[in-house]
Amino acid sequence: MLLRYISCGLLSLAGGAAWRFTLSPNAVGIVTAFAGIFFLLLGFLVGGIYWYAHDLRVRKRTPELMPDERLVFSFVVFVMMPFTVLALIGVIWLLSLLIGVH
């Protein structure tokens, strides 16, 4: 599990660094702040989907090596949580745009 957290975290940091050093403008506004958060969470989400797909492949070959609990844990922690955080931040971002926070 530690390897999964580390690999997802490294993908997340790589996504954030790629955003910061390539696409990010000098002045950070409300739109660019969301984009930075999006790239950070996207790295974690991509890593989580990869690890979940890996677990499904292992389960398909040898079901006794991958219990149901581990599949559910992998899906919830590595796929649903980053997606939920991203969706929540997206809703907050949209509300801030509607309210007109600058």
Q: Tens digit of pLDDT for each residue in 6-32?
A: 998 899 889 888 888 887 788 877 778
Q: How confident is the model at residue 58 (pLDDT cuts 50, 70, 90)?
A: very high
CB contact set of 93 (below 8 Å; sequence gap of 6+):
30, 33, 34
Question: What is the C-alpha separation between 64 and 80, in angstroms, rounded?
Answer: 24
60: pLDDT strictly greater than 90: yes
Q: Which residue has the higher pLDDT, 31 or 71?
A: 71
Per-residue burial over 3-34, b if 16 or more Cβ lie within 10 Å, else e, is ebeebbeebbeebbeebeeeebeeeeeeeeeb
Residue with tokens 């955003």: 19
> Is residue 101 within 8 Å of residue 30, measured between CB atoms?
yes
42: pLDDT strictly greater than 90: no
Q: Residue 95's pLDDT is what? A: 86
Q: Residue 50's pLDDT is what? A: 92
